[in-house]
Amino acid sequence: MSQKQLHSTEELNEFVAGAGKRLLFKHSTICPISTSAYEEFQSYLQGNDVPAAVILVREDRPVSNEVAERFGIKHESPQIFLFENGEVKWHTSHWKITKDAIEEALKA
């Protein structure tokens, strides 16, 4: 499944409010660690049918900041969140973002 890019807090609100499990990835396009983590995220999405979205942290800074403020989770990049019915159920960052880690989080 492909992911949607979020450009506004309205799009963020709509994505987070969706039912069920959904993944949100905060990505810095100039960071090699983020690029590696994004590849792991993309690898997970291949063949998995979970709603997913990405925020490009440099291009859409207000949306990225809103995630940190609203959910009380310090901003990091790269960073991934698992939402279920509007709540953060799991999150991690940097080298801990792997296809296997995402799979485990979604099974829990």
Q: What is the pLDDT of residue 47?
A: 85
CB atoms inside a 10 Å sphere around CB 7? 14
Q: Where does residue 48 fall: left (phi above 0), alpha (psi -120 to 50 degrees), or beta otherwise?
A: beta
Q: What is the pLDDT of residue 108?
A: 87
Q: What is the pLDDT of residue 23?
A: 98
Q: What is the pLDDT of residue 84?
A: 96
Q: Which domains does the chain have, with CATH numbers?
A: 4-107 (3.40.30.10)
> How far is it, in rounded angstroms, from Cα 56 to Cα 14?
17
* C-beta separation of 37 from 97 below 8 A: yes
Q: What is the pLDDT of residue 1?
A: 57
Q: What is the pLDDT of residue 58?
A: 95
Q: Would you give per-residue pLDDT tens digits along the chain (108 residues)?
A: 568 999 999 999 999 999 999 999 999 999 999 999 999 999 999 989 999 999 999 999 999 999 999 999 999 999 999 999 999 999 999 999 999 999 999 998
